[in-house]
Amino acid sequence: MYKAILFDLDGTLTESGEGIIKSVQYALEKLGKPEPDGEKLREFIGPPLLEQFMKYADLDEETARYAVSLYRERYSVTGLYENRPYDGIEEVLAELRRKGYLLAVASSKPERFVLQILDYFQMTQYFHEIVGSEMGGRRTKKAEVIEETLRRMHLEDHRDEVLMVGDREHDVFGAREAGVKCVAVSYGYGTMRELAHARPLKIVDSPEELLHFFG
């Protein structure tokens, strides 16, 4: 029986692709590596930015860290608001709270931005804990974020009662590394092939189906 549900943010609670992709384009343009095709940058939505910049643009770590700082120049002012909650997700959160579940956000996005986004959309009220990465680059791996969430919720010894909900394979792999199960949502930014390969507990197609999963 699950008592706590940890939610990813991007692609799970909010449709955040526009702001992320435009901010990545801004950073790449500044680095002299412009990418006008936003579809090619969808892989940046969800995983830690530093690793994605290194992988996508073949950057060394120092240059990738500079790319992240350029990304944040735009994202912190404009990009985080180019975003919206998925239809029905707020009703899901309200109902899960009503049923007595402990809810948290566990995101690889810097915690400061996570809080700003949830406050902006008036969704902070649904969560007992909100956890993200640190601005300096620590705690970016999903397993690390989940571990910190479990620590804050005093659930380190109750991992079998915790479920992660996310939309990318790194959510599934991070949950598995942290010893918790994961339900994947297909309405986010992960492909069905990616999610099937990651082997989550279940793949659901909508917020409504997610609510049905919890009965």
Q: What is the pTM of this model?
A: 0.91
Do 149 and 48 sit in the same domain of this protein?
Answer: no
Q: What is the DSSP letter of 28?
A: H
* Residue matched to tokens 């996570």: 114
Total domains in the chain come to 2
SS3 for 94?
helix
**How many residues make up the chain in this entry?**
215
Confidence of residue 32 (pLDDT cuts 50, 70, 90): very high
The pLDDT, as a whole number, for residue 83 is: 96
Confidence of residue 192 (pLDDT cuts 50, 70, 90): very high
Smallest Cα–Cα separation from 46: which of 156, 177, 189? 189
Amino acid at 180: V
Dump pLDDT digits (tens) for 49-76: 999 999 999 999 999 999 999 999 999 9
Yes or no: say if 107 and 9 are a contact pair by the CB < 8 Å rule: yes
Dump pLDDT digits (tens) for 159-179: 999 999 999 999 999 999 999
Positive or negative CA dihedral for 214, 170, 36, 136? positive
Do 90 and 68 sit in the same domain of this protein?
Answer: no
Do 73 and 91 sit in the same domain of this protein?
Answer: no
Do 70 and 166 sit in the same domain of this protein?
Answer: no
Yes or no: say if 135 and 119 are a contact pair by the CB < 8 Å rule: no
Dump pLDDT digits (tens) for 89-107: 999 999 999 999 999 999 9
CA distance 96 to 56: 38
- Say which of 8, 10, 167, 171 is annotated catalytic: 8
Amino acid at 207: P
Catalytic residue flag (residue 8): yes
Q: What is the DSSP letter of 122?
A: T
| 137, pLDDT greater than 80 | no
CA distance 142 to 35: 27
Containing structural domain, residue 108: 4-15+84-213
Q: Which of 35-49, 78-92, 187-201 has the lowest mean pLDDT?
A: 35-49
